Amino acid sequence: MPRQSSASALGGSVVDGEVNDLATLTHLDEAVMLRQMKTRYQRDVIYTYVGDILVAINPFKQLKIYDRESVTKYKRTKKALLPPHIYAIADAAYSTMVDSGKNQCCVISGESGAGKTESTKLLINQVIELCPTKTTMGLEQKIIQVNPLLEAFGNAQTVMNDNSSRFGKYIQLKFKGGQVLGAKINEYLLEKSRVVSQSVGEENFHIFYYMFAGLSKEEMQQYRLTNADSYRYLSQGESCLRKRRKECQDAFNDLVNAMDLVGFTEENQNNMFQVMSIVLNMGNIEFNEGANDSSSVKTFDSLKTTAELVGIEPKVLESFLTTHETMTAGEVITINLTKQKAEDARDAMAKALYGRVFSWIINRVNSLLAPQDDSQRGDSTQIGILDIFGFEHFEKNSFEQCCINVANEQLQFFFNEHIFKWEQEEYRKEGIDFKEIVYLDNKPLLSLFLEKPIGLFSLLDEESRFPKATDLSFVGKLNQHFGKLEHYVASKDSRTPHFVVKHYAGEVKYDGDGFLEKNRDSLPSGAVELLQISKNDLIHDIFMATLTRTGTMALKSRRGRSRKTRNRLQAAGRVSRTAGKGTSLKGVTVSAQFKNSLTVLMEKMNQCNPHFIRCIKPNMGKRPNDFQDDFVIAQLRYTGMLETTRIRREGFAIRPDFNEFVNRFKHLAPLKIGQDANGARKILQAADIKGYHIGKTKVFLKYFHIDQLTDKLERIHKAATMWQKVLRGHVDRRRVKKLREKAKQEKQQVADFLVQLPSNLVNTSKRMQAIMAADFKRPHDYFKAKAKAKEPAKPLIALNDMPPPLPPLADEKFPRDDDEDDDDDEDEFDENDEVKPMPISKKHGAKFGREGTKAASVRWFKETQAKSGAKNEEGNFQDWFHGIITRRRAEQLLTNKDIGAFLVRVSESRFGYSLSFRVATRVKHFMIDQTMSGKYIVVGEPKVHKSLHDLVVYHQRCGIGDEHELLSVPCGQDSGDDEDEFDYADLMDHGGEQALMFRSPSSTSSIGQSPNMRRRVHSGHHRPVSTHSAQHQQFPSGTQSRGGTGSRGYAAGPPDPGYRQQHMMYPDEDPRNRRHATNPPPMFSAPKLPGQRLGPGGGSPHMPQRMHSNSSVGQGQMRSARSPRSTARNEAPPPLPPR
């Protein structure tokens, strides 16, 4: 019977007797568990919790639980308030990462077809959704779009699953401050054998079918492809296409879109398709049996096509496939290969080509998704998501199934360690009273495969090194070593290489036939060198690369051999087959690579906080609404779900040490507390948590306690934030009021000062002349006598003669009443647009001039954008096309237009476009980026377009952004009919320059200046070009934006007099001369004659210096000189008063 409280505690809609969390059941056995799952499944409720673990049953039909509403509902919310969902796991992983700063991993397990890959996609999408803002370069879309790419090349239809992943992957999403930075994918063991043969009812990798459905006739010819039925490697080519041609066609389009979006160039894509064609054509090379165990090529056409595509002589390829060369005692010995061996050599080359292209794709994706800024990698955190191939048990199980099942065995071991072993060990260590829960430990099974030196893989490696060993001799060794083990059953018939392993998930009968060859994975001698000289750059690169000990590809950064060398070698038609410089790591077998990669994976995952998702398959037939009790109970049993539920119900899933716990929740305690048991207890008591335990070094919490604690903490934080807000508002308002008053006073003082200045100066000048005249009249030794008497020097100018001191300038941060400057050129996207500006693409270098200047943008447009679709077929610009206009200008143009009115404009700040369109309440702006393949995309959208025209047409049908807003009518130009007056005139092939020079004020203007001197004038902010503008260019930018004049890129009007008054400086007040102020030079080194005109640099050097040293005026002005605002050294001094 379920506990009464369960439904209310766990929120969501549950019907009578049903629970969202099996760990809340008081009575628990297999039957109860199954009934719970079944009734929920029958109501299309596929998710159930077992404590913090999610169980997901594959519905095999689309459910409406992944819509926008759900996406939003599960953002940063408490798990208990909503029905179980995979989005809640995404939220838990993300929140824990952000809150604790620790790496997280999500482990998704289940049989083949149970829903792991779908769950992975949903998880990634939701984690990306949780990031606070969408960031640079549409990274989120790229991460999401990697999937169709990986699936096209790595998935295939099997009897278990129509979209079965034939490789394992661990995707690491990297974050900083909760914002996604990049991603990295690790791949595990692609099932390459599928390239050359498939079991009955199964298909080759999707990509082959997609190509036949999606390539145009011309492209098919270009890649030398005919029809799907003509290729041996596609066992059921046409029949498969007949069934799902449309589906494959769409998938092909999605694939190309994904490649464009992620950043694969046109050349990359061409090369990839070409390799796929080489693989298929190679498969059609068949052999005749010859005399003396020799063989010869039977199908010359295929040999020729393959050789031509690779870029080598057909004869050379033939000799590689039908003979083997070795070097013995300095002599080259050629050995003929039998028909069987020649076929093996062909298949090995095809598999190597496909496998390396796949690794290269992963490599390329990783470099395209790597965090942009190296400095950011340091303190980033991660969420890793593991989606490996599920447990498999076919009629015939080969080496691949063996590896796949070992990986699943390892994963089950990881689960057991986290859920049962380590947890119960901690109870013991920490003295927690706990009734032990027995679970099925699969360690012996793992040892059977992985132990050294006597484990299945070690024995396989050993046998692989003996040339004379056979699959039968290998299985014989297994029988000899493992015959008596509980989990191993030797075949009764010793003439067949069969054996049975009792895996945690069931018994699997393996057929050892082919184990040795698959493990060696050897290529014909010299094949690597041969493929290195391919004219296809991709083939060249992937065969120049080295393979690491985990089997991943390490590409050479520089091209190994230049095109020229390759051409020469191709022309010579011969490659050394015995040089043995193959770049595959000699001696590292497939099983060794697999073992190594598994070890690395486990090391990575053991450093993360895990979240588990258990996928369950309801039936074998991929059918919706069909829950087969026996089938499901078997899965629940072997995954240890009953025991898991028990440990979640009775145990303590969360076990932070005192330090960590007190640090995170200290604000819940009323007073200062220590980072010890006592401190932890105080927190728990204050938060009213029930049922916890305090151990020797740790706190033992139930999985739901963490939600309760976080909830309470959030409430306190919210309250604190509110208080801070109120308090800060109060303090700030007082500060601003004071500053305003002060500024007002300053302004008045400055005005008074300036009014008095002329008369004061006249007075001062008169007194100076009087003093000087008096000095001239004094007897000759008067000054000497004064100096001797050490009389303090009287100020020559009375203080009250001076104008009042200038007040120090108000704080720089003082809020001004005048509007912020309309610097709307660079800043294309505001926060409301949810897309931040992306770093300017570096791909063009300085080819068009300095990026970010108008001249460069014009050149870029004219030289690269001929096919952009900005012009219609008649060669005129489209109605929606505008030139280099600002965001603000676009807003002006669109403001009074209908909703959906739009325009595309050329950016000045980067080589690209922006899309502006009118929505109900404002004008929105989106960036349009160009992919590496030269196509166009609205940043943040998933669809790539061949031209701007296509992009516009598409978005007139399909909405943009979360609100799915559509473009409607183009926003035309507001000038007359004269094209030269349109804002795109600069971009026209003729007279653009001229148009730029003589432009109506309403568009863009600067008269009679060189293009470099031109200043753009915003129509709404037009100011006459003034002679002062040059001076104002030199103000620091902070000054410009406040002053409202002389803004970057705009023609500056005469400066605001108030502004100038505040910032006037005498030359000697230049901070460079400050030492004079504290250490004045001798007074009258060369007295000036009365009436002598003061020099242009600020008059007599003496007077101002004296003013500095003896009056507070100088000091006041010195202070102002220190302000960044007053660094305008070229500012002219005030005119001297008339005498």
Residue 164 in contact with ligand ADP, rule: CB under 6 A: yes
Stretch near ligand ADP under the rule CB under 6 A, chosen from 160-168, 527-535, 856-864, 866-874: 160-168
Task: Give least dist CB 182 to ligand ADP, A.
Answer: 24
Q: Which of residues 251-270 bind ligand ADP (CB under 6 A)?
A: none
Sign of CA dihedral 935, 941, 943, 948: negative
Residue 59 in contact with ligand ADP, rule: CB under 6 A: yes
Which tokens sit at 1018? 């915003």
**Is 112 an active-site residue?**
yes
Catalytic residue, chosen from 161, 323, 589, 644, is: 161
Closest CA to 189 of 636, 503, 594: 594
Task: Give least dist CB 59 to ligand ADP, A.
Answer: 5
Query: Given the complex with ligand ADP, which of 386 and 531 has the nearer CB atom?
Result: 386
Catalytic residue, chosen from 120, 155, 164, 186, is: 164
Q: Per-residue contact track with ligand ADP, 473 to 512, x per CB under 6 A?
A: ----------------------------------------
Q: Which of residues 1070-1129 bind ligand ADP (CB under 6 A)?
A: none
**Is 164 an active-site residue?**
yes
**Is 991 an active-site residue?**
no
Catalytic residue, chosen from 6, 20, 155, 165, is: 165
The correct pick among 70, 100, 163, 1026 for binding ligand ADP (CB under 6 A) is 163
Q: Which does 163 bind (CB under 5 to 8 A by kind): Mg ion, ligand ADP, none?
A: ligand ADP
Query: Given the complex with ligand ADP, which of 70 and 708 has the nearer CB atom?
Result: 70
Q: Per-residue contact track with ligand ADP, 377 to 396, x per CB under 6 A?
A: -------------x------
- Residues ≥6 apart with Cβ < 8 Å to 349: 282, 320, 321, 523, 524, 527, 531
Task: Give least dist CB 161 to ligand ADP, A.
Answer: 5
CA 136 to chain centre: 8
**Is 336 an active-site residue?**
no
Query: Given the complex with ligand ADP, which of 280 and 404 has the nearer CB atom?
Result: 404
Query: Given the complex with Mg ion, which of 386 and 709 has the nearer CB atom?
Result: 386
Instruction: Please report, for residues 564, 689, 805, 1050, the alpha-carbon distance to residue 1058 in angstroms, rounded to integers and kept in the order given.
Output: 70, 65, 17, 21
**Is 193 an active-site residue?**
no
The correct pick among 84, 113, 883, 942 for binding ligand ADP (CB under 6 A) is 113
Q: Which does 62 bind (CB under 5 to 8 A by kind): Mg ion, ligand ADP, none?
A: ligand ADP
Q: Which of residues 577-616 bind ligand ADP (CB under 6 A)?
A: 615
Query: Cβ(95)–Cβ(609) under 8 Å?
Result: no
Stretch near ligand ADP under the rule CB under 6 A, chosen from 112-120, 508-516, 869-877, 1081-1089: 112-120
Task: Give least dist CB 65 to ligand ADP, A.
Answer: 8
Query: Given the complex with Mg ion, which of 390 and 651 has the nearer CB atom?
Result: 390
**Is 548 an active-site residue?**
no
Task: Give least dist CB 163 to Mg ion, A.
Answer: 7
Question: Please, how many CA atoms are within 13 Å of residue 447, restricted to the half-sphere of its CB?
Answer: 9
Query: Cβ(337)–Cβ(577) under 8 Å?
Result: no
How far is Cα 445 from Cα 408, in angstroms, rounded to an integer?
Answer: 11
Please report, to the nearest 10 degrees, the dihedral formed by the alpha carbons of residues 185, 186, 188, 190 taken in order: 40
Query: What does 156-187 look like in DSSP terms, one character per residue?
Result: E--SS-TTEESSEEEEEEEEETTEEEEEEEEE
Catalytic residue, chosen from 117, 277, 405, 933, is: 117
Q: Which does 282 bind (CB under 5 to 8 A by kind): Mg ion, ligand ADP, none?
A: none
How far is Cα 988 from Cα 974, in angstroms, rounded to an integer?
Answer: 17
Work out the number of other CB atoms within 10 angstroms of the CB of residue 872: 12
Please report, to the nearest 10 degrees, the dihedral formed by the alpha carbons of residues 96, 101, 102, 107 taken in order: 40
Residue 114 in contact with ligand ADP, rule: CB under 6 A: yes
Residue 118 in contact with ligand ADP, rule: CB under 6 A: yes
How far is Cα 1065 from Cα 1044, in angstroms, rounded to an integer?
Answer: 21
- Residues ≥6 apart with Cβ < 8 Å to 1097: 1067, 1133
The correct pick among 4, 5, 8, 62 for binding ligand ADP (CB under 6 A) is 62
**Is 760 an active-site residue?**
no
How far is Cα 1090 from Cα 139, in angstroms, rounded to an integer?
Answer: 75
How far is Cα 287 from Cα 281, in angstroms, rounded to an integer?
Answer: 14
Closest CA to 716 of 665, 791, 767, 787: 665
Query: Cβ(183)–Cβ(146) under 8 Å?
Result: yes
How far is Cα 862 from Cα 858, in angstroms, rounded to an integer?
Answer: 6
Positions in the binding site for Mg ion (CB under 5 A): 116-117, 165
Query: Cβ(219)–Cβ(270) under 8 Å?
Result: no
Q: Which does 114 bind (CB under 5 to 8 A by kind): ligand ADP, Mg ion, none?
A: ligand ADP
Question: Please, how many CA atoms are within 13 Å of residue 501, restricted to the half-sphere of its CB?
Answer: 30
Tell me how many helices (H) and strands (E) the chain has: 40, 25
Query: Given the complex with ligand ADP, which of 59 and 900 has the nearer CB atom?
Result: 59
Which tokens sit at 1032? 């104002």
Residue 161 in contact with ligand ADP, rule: CB under 6 A: yes
The correct pick among 40, 79, 85, 116 for binding ligand ADP (CB under 6 A) is 116
**Is 392 an active-site residue?**
yes
Query: Given the complex with ligand ADP, which of 152 and 615 has the nearer CB atom?
Result: 615
Binding site for ligand ADP (CB under 6 A): 58-60, 62-63, 110, 112-118, 161-165, 390, 615
Which residues are the active-site residues?
112-113, 117, 161, 164-165, 390, 392
